[in-house]
A = this chain, B = another copy of it.
Amino acid sequence: MIGKSASGKNGKAVPQTRIQKAKREAILEAGLTVFSEAGFRGATLDRIASEAGLSKPNLLYYYPSKEAIYEALLRGLLETWLDPLQAIDPKGEPVEELLGYVRRKLQMSRDFPRESRLFANEIVQGAPRIMPVLEGELRGMVDNLSTVIDGWIAEGRLAPVDPRHLMFSVWSLTQHYADFDVQVRAVLNADDPFPGAETHLDVLFRRLLTP
């Protein structure tokens, strides 16, 4: 929060040596693993440090505190997480646009399960550190998309749905395969859930959204 932040006094990025960049990345990578497995409180600096191949004081040389690592992680995460929403094209074919969004979100659950679980941990425990983002950016984006969807419905190109609950459905159905992975695999007998999930969600949303 003090001098080490990402932008200098003139808005230009603070100079970062190659080694600094590599170490910070290793720390974030290790932090992602540990925080997503154990939550903020369950994670320990010792485990993050050892996972990153550093000593604890060395880790604290790059990030001033446990909080700082966690917050850096959340900040970077949110961009990735909100991206697929931005990619929805108001001028596209409604059903296909939304199905594409579902497919992208499901792929993120497959490819970045740790990120999904980190986010889940934060929200389940009351989102103490990202409430402002939820009420600000996220709500704004959902409000915008809701207008678009309501327009599509009015034009008869989409079956009538509550846009916000539709968003909740997309999020919960796709993220479930990352967040509840162990349960899914226990029920499925350890097969890869994703091929089945993709066809299932395709059917589900096509039936829901086709006028």
Cross-interface CB contact of A161 among B121, B177, B179, B200, cutoff 8 Å = B200
Cross-interface CB contact of A124 among B142, B172, B180, cutoff 8 Å = B180
Interface size of A by CB at 8 A reads 52
Whether A87 sits at the interface, judged by CB under 8 Å, is: no
Whether A139 sits at the interface, judged by CB under 8 Å, is: yes
With A182-B123, A196-B162 already in contact, the answer to whether A134 and B204 are too (CB < 8 A) is no
Q: Which residues of B contact A177 (CB under 8 A)?
A: 168
Contact (Cβ within 8 A) B134 A124: no
Cα–Cα distance between A142 and B180 once the two chains are bound (Å): 16
Contact (Cβ within 8 A) B200 A169: yes
With A139-B187, A139-B189 already in contact, the answer to whether A123 and B164 are too (CB < 8 A) is no
Cα–Cα distance between A169 and B171 once the two chains are bound (Å): 11
11 chain-A/chain-B pairs, Cβ below 8 angstroms: A38-B41, A39-B39, A41-B42, A123-B179, A131-B186, A139-B189, A142-B187, A161-B203, A165-B200, A172-B175, A172-B180
* Sample of 20 further A-B pairs with CB below 8 A, known A121-B121, A135-B186, A172-B173: A39-B39, A39-B121, A42-B125, A120-B120, A120-B124, A120-B179, A123-B179, A123-B180, A124-B180, A131-B186, A134-B187, A142-B187, A165-B197, A165-B200, A166-B200, A168-B173, A168-B177, A169-B204, A203-B208, A208-B208
